[in-house]
Structure 1
Amino acid sequence: MSKVASIKPNKLAFLSMPAPPSYVAGLGRGASGFTTRSDIGPAREGPSAEVVAEAQMRRGEEMEMDSEAYQDPDNEMGLFAGTVYEADDEEADKIYEGVDQAMDQRRKARREAREIEEQKAIRAQRPKIQQQFADLKRALSVVSDAEWEGIPEVGNLTKRRKVRDFGKTYAVPDSVIVGDRDRGGFENALDPRQQDYGGFETPAGSEALTNLVEMGQARDKVLSLKLDQISGTSSISGSATSVDPKGYLTDLNSVVLKSEAEIGDIKRARMLFDSLVKSNPKHAPGWIAAACVEEHAGRMVAARKLIKAGCEHCPKSEDVWLEAARLHNTQDAKIILANAVQHCPQSVKIWLTAANLEVEVKAKKRVLRKALESIPNSVRLWKETVNLESSALDARILLSRAVEVIPQSVELWLALARLETPAQAKAVLNKARKAIPTSHEIWIAAGRLLEQEAEKPEKTKEERAQELEVVDKTIEMGVKSLRQHQVLLTREQWLKEAEKCEEEASPRTCEAIIKATVGMELEEEDRYDTWLGDAESAESRGRIGTARAIIAYALRVFPDRKALWRRAADLEKAHGTRESLEEILSRAVHYCPQAEVLWLMWAKEKWLGGDVPGAREVLEKAFIVNPESEVIWLAAVKLEAENNELNVARELLIRARSVADTERIWMKSAVFERQQGQFETALATLSTAISKYPKFAKLYMIQGQIHESQKDYPAARASYAAGIKACPKEITLWILASRLEEKDNKSIKARALLDKARLVNPANELLWAESVGVEERSSGPAQAKVILSRGLQECPTSGILWSMAIWAEPRPTRKARSVDALKKSLDDPIIICTVARLFWAERKIDKARQWFSRAVATNPDLGDSWAWWLKFERQHGTPEQQQEVIEKCVQAEPHHSPVWQSVAKDMQNTGKNTKQLLELVAAKLE
């Protein structure tokens, strides 16, 4: 034992021992295996987890266990760590494993298919080079030996040995320049030595009679020249190339890179169509489709071969011939179409295509006349032939022959009639009517011809009227004749024909068509509404003549309809002249003498036209028919007052109060005296009027305003109080009374009056807006916002209150508040104008202009909207845009809005027109 124990073990014995399997040096110290690029073959992977665990067990090292936080819950090392693995557990694991395998197999086919599709998509986007040139490689099998031998040798393309030239220049020796100069020259004279020996440098009989070296050089030079000519090279430039630069660039542009998917589709299509044309060679669309496939693939030669075979198998198909002509150049296409007309002489398309290929007009005519010899009954060929004629006489001769050959063509008859003289045109149209009795176009053309004859300047007014009546009779006869021949056009079709005549500058024919056909297919009780709808529809499409003719016919049927006359007057006012409008109104008052508005429109047009006596005459006629008409009396007073006939106006008012004793006449009388500064007379008139009409609130308003202008606040307060007592529902009276108290520095009383007014008139936006204004002027913005919120609760759709709420908000929140206002107020014009002002403040000019236009379009009677728009255009618009706003406002004639009414009713602005008021309101707005 002691001997054995005394033997020391060799600690370095492991160095001579073989390494264990899968040994990795330094693994125990955390090292891992690696390979370098110097190793041949793929890089070696490190040892697997099982190998590492086995090595650690052999060394006696304990396996490091993961903590509970990183343990796999499927590994039973926690709760079930101490359980026994029994047979049923093994069976359950096998069952689960079988289920997993079955599910994996079920998804395998779908997964593999998806992977294949993804791979195909990737290959379609980025195909391999060998796939792109696969068909070209297969095509190499048909290359002959001679073609292989004819391929030129490739030179040095690497450019490795190319001398790089950095722009260095060298002086050329004179010997090189002289030698190059004399290289292509020749001598035509002999030197003295050559003259002595008969042209040779040596005596006759010498063996050196010729220089064989020079002859060889000359032969090489000639051969080089021929080779250069054949290959297209230039000996001068020294470049040897057979590439045409322009053609080379063109070929590059024509190269189309196709993806793998497209190549596969082309191959399949080629196979399908190849099978189709072989199985059914008489099917023309198959040949066309096969040629189109080859054309798409860029193989024009193959496409032309296929379409040539198609022409041979289907010589009666015009489509095949046309496709063949399309696939060839112009000269070849002419030859193809020449063969085509031999097989298909009745094809109009082939003849027209052949004519279009010709450049000269003479050649086109020759082709078309050849076509007419084969197809004399083709309208299209005749039209094309006539269009090529520059002489009207030649065209007339051709059309005369055409209508003989094709008497059923309406187009040819009408074309011939247009080229003939008026007398001959009538004869042509009569022949056409007999040849085609079912054509309405011929009757309409006849009517237009008669209208043109009647509108000649040398005709007198009576002759013109008589001939225009013939137009009506002609169209009426045409409608009856068409009915006899069972040609029943609907009302809508006839109306379209009438609009077409108006578009072609034949208004009398349009009117004749309306007269003859507008009453067709209508029940008696539906005529009025239907005709009004037709007129509005025609006017919306810009067919004013058609709308005027429809209304004129309706007025003949319903001459006593006041609304219809008003509609006719509005149409003439918008699109006609003042003379035509006055004519309409004179007829209107004749048929509807009780229509006061028509009398007033007539008088106003006379007045606007500068005919004041004529306006007086119209109103006198109106007085005779309507002696008690309030509006006519007031119109007469206004006419005299505007023309500074104040005494006449006052007398008219006195007579009106006795003849037409109405509350409005009394009010106008008081207003007239107030405007003239006769306040005592005005107050006396108002006292009498109030005694007669105690329930007319405007009398109290005018009385209170007169007292207020005279600084008699107690009398004004009494007038307003009496008015409120008599008319408690009149909102303006409450507001005027409140403003009077506020002007008298009694804000508390003004607030109390408005509170009382809101109790009597609940949910009134004007009263709430006035209350907000009172609080803002007396208490401040905070209390005003409280009142405003209460007002919005009671009047949630009020545009005035929402506008005030928007401006009461801070600048950043106004936009959001305006969105709520638009939703709640249902697009109120005041809110729209407020939004436009917000855009204006944000410098969004285009949007502001759009919203201002929308505001005035929603309600053009609000003058403040027009004034804001004009103020905006004065700052950001052009003079043309400003003038457009003014013209639209004058046309709309607004009367309402707070600022507009305050300016218009100011005594200093009496007699000012709409344009002047607009300027004043725009200047007053803040």
Structure 2
Amino acid sequence: MSISLISKKRKAFISQPAPAGYVPGLGRGATGFTTRSDIGPAREATDVPDERHARLQKKARPHEDDDDPPEPEEEDLNDANYDEFSGYGGSLFSSGPYDADDREADQIYDTIDMRMDDRRKERREKKFQEEIEKYRQERPKIQQQFSDLKRQLAVVSDDDWLNIPEVGDARNKKQRNAHIRPDRYTPVPDSVLQRALAGGHNSLSKQQQLLGGFATPYPGTMTGTMTPGVSTSTRIDLNQIGEARNSMLGIKLDQVSDSVSGQTVVDPKGYLTDLNSITPQTSGDVNDVKKARLLLKSVITTNPNHAPGWVAAARLEEVTGRMQMARNIIMRGCEVCSKNEDVWVESIRLQPPENAKLVVAQAIGHIPQSVKIWLKAVELESDVPAKRRVLRKALENIPSSVRLWKEAVELEEPEDARILLGRAVECCPASVELWLALARLENYDNARKVLNKARENIPTDRKIWISAARLEESQNNIHMVSKIIERAISSLQSNGVEINRDQWIKEAEEANKSGSVHTAQAIIRLVIGYGIEEEDRLDQWTEDAESCAANEAYECARAIYAHMLTVFPKQKNIWLEAAYFEKDHGSGESLEALLQKAVQNCPKAEVLWLMAAKSKWLAGDVPSARSILSLAFQANPNSEEVWLAAVKLESENNEFERARILLEKAWASAGTARVMMKSVKLEWVLNNMEKAFKLTRDALEKHPDFAKLWMMLGQMNEQEGKIDEARMSYIDALKKCPGSLPLWILYSRLEEKSGQPTKARSVLEKARLKNPRSPDLWLEAIRLEMRGDRKPIAQNLMAKALQECPSSGKLWAESIFMATRPQRKTKSVDALKKCEHDPHVLLAVAKLFWTERKISKCREWFIRAIKIDPDQGDTWAHYYKFELAHGTQEQQDEVLKRCVQAEPRHGETWCSVSKDIKNWQKHTNDILPLVTAAISVPV
């Protein structure tokens, strides 16, 4: 037999049984050993030995020749022969025993596998999440692409929903009818229908029921021949049935139509009103009503004197639409509970107007002391004289009711009201409101008498004392105001009243808003220190001043600051807060007076001197500003801020020689880098370039690591057209100041202007290596590619930038307008999630609403961006441009005024315009229009 045939029939080597006495590795020097797993448990001598390695005996197949080798048995691959641990029955290790050692080893392996799986779980899940997010970004779902449109559905009005057109079929008529088989209708002869009717009476009986139960056929409907077994009543002409149906329909239509004009008598306007009177009730509602009626019936039966039960029973019938039943129930309740005013008030409410007055009369007869019933009686009257009569009758019965007196006074003229109030305070001497109302109606002398009587009757109320102080202030008796408040505090304390400073501060705020300034300030001075620990005074008073300023009680805040300065006269921060408050809410004179006191108490505070000099300068008093700065020099001889303020004052007033002299002195006494930079800039703006270059080199020898000097050197070289010198200055600068981002950006832009975008790109890449996680460098690289019309590269850079700087508002704002128009809203939502309070993102969202012509929302987002960061000049410029396009003249002037007050100093476009040499003497109101013209309208 051939070798190939033998190889096909013989088992694989690994599947063959081992020979007897086989020891693995014996030829390589291994030594065989036997374990208990091989021999099993101990056995008796009579036990049959375990022939583990005995050769298997195979049965010979019948009808086989002896010369042929025996074929191996086929492996049983049935599922019943499979084990999860050892595999199929014929596997290599399926025959060995599985004891406790094997089980313990498997448990150890499983524990190790689980621990290794836990160690890799977090990394595996993170990697899986990143792959999912990357996949979703590259292949977004259709629902994600339309997510911005879905968000707009939240603000769709009902009218817009109703105006949405139905979805039509875009296919043509042939395509629509291709799969529809046309219906064909063939009229059936009357003979067929008659035979069908003759065959069964059920259909005829149904038709008779439809016709109203007619058992006798119409005249003329009998057929000429008689059908055996069918009565004459069944022989009806179907045409007559149709005519009868039409006749019935015509009768019903005639019932709802006008017989003369043919128009319907249904009121189209009152139809829905009539429907409102119908109380819809489901089966569940009916059951609930029945249960409630039963319970309430039980309540009013078992305890008829329980007034709320009668009221509830009546309201239940009112809700179910049974008004007459409700009235009957509440009237029975009035008979049983005749002394309860709630039952009578409910009965008055349920009665029609013509019967309500009778019920009121009955109620007053039973309860003449009820204020509610008298007020109901006043409501039922239509004219003012009748109301007055009812109120006077009520006051005869209840003279101590403050509410009735108030209602009566409101209906009277001032003179009659004064007479009524005189009687009212006699009847109700404990009512503060009545006393104060009477005092307001009296003249000065009588008002003082009224308030004195009020203090005698009510010695524990602070409002009477405050009203007396306001009365004196109205008569210009300012010296009496503080005395009255002092007497008020001492009198209230002697009567056991606790001085609550919060309540008194609120009274001061109300007095301030009503124009009683001196009363408000007196209250603040005398009450501000009550109930505060000495170490908490500064913080608490600062908080009180800010609260008063927020509530527009500016005089109260000014009084608090004045009191703080008397207690802490050497605190520079308090003087600064008071100065800022006067700058925002005060006048120029008050600010100057405050600053004069401030520099006297804190002569070493440079900022106070500068504020005082600036206030004089803005007022046009330049000599006074110079004198203030000279005094500041004496107090702070080596102060850099004072030197620079003096130089700015002279240069802004075109006193350039005096500015040069001051700078030369400053080089000697305070030769700081900023002083040298201002000196270079002065020569630069005066176009004295040779001296400017010389001063720059001298300054760089002393301060080689000051980046602004290097920037000025490079920009001056660019202005002069010395590109190579500018490039070398930037290269030298970056060696000294590798962390200066503006230097890298200026160098990159120089290479871009020179026509070398590849060099500019490499400069920015090198800058990112030296300054990682810098949003400005990423933004400049992205804009470089956008300026070169390489949008795919720019988008790739934006994705990398957002990964490295996920919380950068500048990058998110730029990414919103880099996206396509349908994806901008989604991008803006993501940006707001990452940078909710970033001014750049808020500005981008406002510009997005601008592109969609949503004027009100755009204005709201501009205001939000300005409130978060008023120092961003670009936000002011966009807001001003928006108001120029869509706002009124008043709104435009308001934006300009607020921008001048804010004095912004930052912003990419704002800095490029404000720091231009041509605009060095321009102020905020001049720079804002220039920046507005430089920016473009978003598209």
TM-score of the aligned structures, taking structure 2 as reference length? 0.65
Question: Counterpart of 2:619?
Answer: 609
Match of 2:683 among 658, 673, 676: 673
Q: Distance in 2 between matches of 1:251 and 1:914?
A: 63
What aligned pairs does 1:648-727 form with structure 2 within 5 A after superposition?
648-727=658-737
Which residue in 2 is equivalent to 1:370?
393
Q: For 1:219-266, what per-residue CA distance to the aligned partner results, in whole angstroms no more than 9, with x for missing partners? A: xxxxxxxxxxxxxxxxxxxxxxxxxx9xx9999899645647566666
**TM-fit CA distance, 1:423:** 1.7
Distance 1:626 1:685 in 2: 26
Distance 1:787 1:271 in 2: 77
Deviation at 1:415, TM superposition (A): 2.0
Distance 2:303 2:789 in 1: 100
**Cα displacement string for residues 320-350 of structure 1 (whole angstroms, at most 9, x for unaligned residues):** 3334444445565444444433432322223
Query: What's the CA shift for 1:668?
Result: 0.7
What is the identity percentage for the equivalent residue pairs of Structure 1 and Structure 2?
50
Q: Quick check: 1:695–1:726 contact (8 Å CA) kept in 2?
A: yes
1:316 matched to which residue of 2?
339
Sort the Cα spacing of 1:419 and 1:775 in 2 relative to 1 into closer, same or farther, 3 A. Answer: closer
Structure 1 match to 2:585: 575
Deviations 1:605-626 (A, max 9, x none): 3222333333333333333322
Change (3 A) 1:265 1:448: same
Letter in 2 for 1:441: K
Q: Give the CA deviation at 1:640.
A: 2.0
Per the alignment, residue 624 of structure 1 pairs with 634
Equivalent residue number for residue 416 of structure 1: 438
Contact 2:305–2:337, Cα closer than 8 Å, also in 1:
yes
Q: CA deviation at 1:436?
A: 1.4
Query: What is residue 550 of structure 1 aligned with on the other side?
Result: 560
Match of 1:39 in 2: 200
2:408 counterpart residue number: 385
**Structure 1 residue 675, shift from structure 2 partner:** 0.7
* Aligned counterparts, 1:448-847, within 5 A: 448-454=470-476, 467-744=477-754, 750=760, 753-772=763-782, 791-802=801-812, 821-823=831-833, 828-841=838-851
Task: Decide which moves more: 360-369 or 668-677.
Answer: 360-369
In structure 2, relative to structure 1, the CA distance for the partners of 1:345 and 1:791 (3 Å cut) is: closer
Moved more, 714-723 or 546-555: 714-723
Larger-gyration structure (1/2): 1
Q: CA deviation at 1:278?
A: 4.4
Q: What are the residue-to-residue correspondences of 1:841-856 with 2, within 5 Å?
A: 841=851, 848-856=858-866
Preserved CA contact (<8 Å) 1:701 1:720: yes
Kindly indicate whether residue 923 of structure 2 is the aligned counterpart of residue 913 of structure 1. yes
Question: Is residue 891 of structure 1 aligned with residue 913 of structure 2?
Answer: no
8 Å CA contact retained: 2:570, 2:602? yes
User: Relative to structure 1, is the Cα distance of residues 402 and 747 closer, same or farther in structure 2, using a 3 angstrom cutoff?
Assistant: closer
Change (3 A) 1:618 1:361: same
SS at match of 2:338: coil
- 1:481-518 deviation digits (Å, cap 9, x = unpaired): 22222211433222222222233332322222222222
Deviations 1:416-446 (A, max 9, x none): 2222221222222122212211111111111
Q: Give the structure 2 partner of residue 343 of structure 1.
A: 366
Task: Kindly provide the amino acid, as one letter, of the partner of residue 414 in structure 1.
Answer: L
Distance 2:280 2:806 in 1: 67
Q: In structure 1, what residue type is equivalent to 2:399? A: P
Give 1:640's aligned amino acid: E
Which AA in structure 2 matches 1:861?
D
CA change 1:795–1:269 in 2 (3 A) is closer
Cα distance in 2 for partners of 1:516, 1:620 equals: 40
Shift of 1:676: 0.8
Deviates more, 1:686-695 or 1:442-451: 686-695
Change in Cα spacing, 1:518 to 1:772, as seen in structure 2 (3 Å) is same
Deviation at 1:580, TM superposition (A): 2.5
User: Counterparts of 1:20-419 in structure 2 under 5 Å?
Assistant: 39-40=200-201, 256=278, 259=281, 272-296=295-319, 303-329=326-352, 332-392=355-415, 394-419=416-441
Q: Are the aligned partners of 1:416 and 1:428 in contact in 2 as well (CA < 8 Å)?
A: yes
Q: Which stretch shows the higher mean deviation, 872-881 or 684-693?
A: 872-881
Task: State the secondary structure of the residue aligned to 1:399.
Answer: helix
* Cα distance in 1 for residues equivalent to 2:781 and 2:377: 88
| Alpha-carbon separation, structure 2, partners of 1:385 and 1:850 | 47
How far apart, CA to CA, are the structure 1 residues paired with 2:885 and 2:934? 15
5+ unaligned residues in a row in structure 2: which ranges?
1-194, 206-250
In the alignment, the residues of structure 2 paired with residue 158 and residue 681 of structure 1 have an alpha-carbon distance, to the nearest angstrom, of: 109
Tell me the C-alpha RMSD between the 2 structures: 4.1
Q: CA deviation at 1:791?
A: 4.7
- Aligned partners of 1:491 and 1:521 also within 8 Å: yes
Larger RCO: 1 or 2 (CA < 8 Å, sep 6+)? 2
Cα distance in 2 for partners of 1:268, 1:761 equals 79
- For 2:254 and 2:804, how far apart are their aligned partners in 1? 94
Match of 2:576, SS? Answer: helix
Distance change (3 Å), C-alpha of 1:893 and 1:37? farther
Q: CA deviation at 1:579?
A: 2.5
Cα pair 1:277 1:283 within 8 Å, conserved: yes
Q: Find the residue that maps to 2:742 and give its secondary structure.
A: helix
Task: Write out per-residue CA displacement over residues 838-888 of structure 1, whole angstroms, 9 at most, x where no aligned residue.
Answer: 554555555555544444444333333433444455555555554444344
Aligned residue type for 1:321: W
Q: Deviations over 1:451-509 (max 9, x none)?
A: 2111xxxxxxxxxxxx3242122112212222222211433222222222233332322
1:441 is aligned to 2:471: no
| Contact 1:569 1:581 (8 Å CA) reproduced | yes
Aligned partner of 1:186 in structure 2 is none
Q: What's the CA shift string for 1:815-834, capped at 9, x where partnerless? A: 55555555556664334444
Q: Deviations over 1:290-344 (max 9, x none)?
A: 4445555655555555444444433322333334444445565444444433432
Match of 1:26 in 2: none
Under a length normalisation based on structure 1, what TM-score does the superposition of the two structures give? 0.66
Q: Unaligned stretches of 5+ in structure 1?
A: 1-33, 45-156, 169-244, 455-466
**Distance in 1 (alpha carbons) for counterparts of 2:480 and 2:877:** 55
8 Å CA contact 2:279, 2:321 repeated in 1: no
Name the counterpart of 1:85.
none
Work out the CA distance in 2 between the residues paired with 1:871 and 1:252: 55
Letter paired with 2:707: A
Q: Is the 8 A contact 1:35 1:43 kept in 2?
A: no
Larger displacement relative to structure 2 (549-558 or 739-748): 739-748
Query: Which amino acid is 1:481 matched to?
Result: S
Query: Is this contact kept in 2: 1:797–1:826, CA < 8 A?
Result: no
What is the CA-CA distance between 1:911 and the residue it aligns to? 1.0
Between the aligned partners of 1:483 and 1:500, the Cα distance in structure 2 is: 23
Do the aligned partners of 1:475 and 1:513 also contact (CA within 8 Å) in 2?
Answer: yes
Summarize the Cα distance change of 1:38–1:524 in structure 2 as closer, same or farther, 3 Å threshold.
Answer: farther
| Number of the residue aligned with 1:426 | 448
Residues 753 and 310 of structure 1: is their aligned pair in 2 closer, same or farther, counting only changes over 3 Å?
Answer: closer
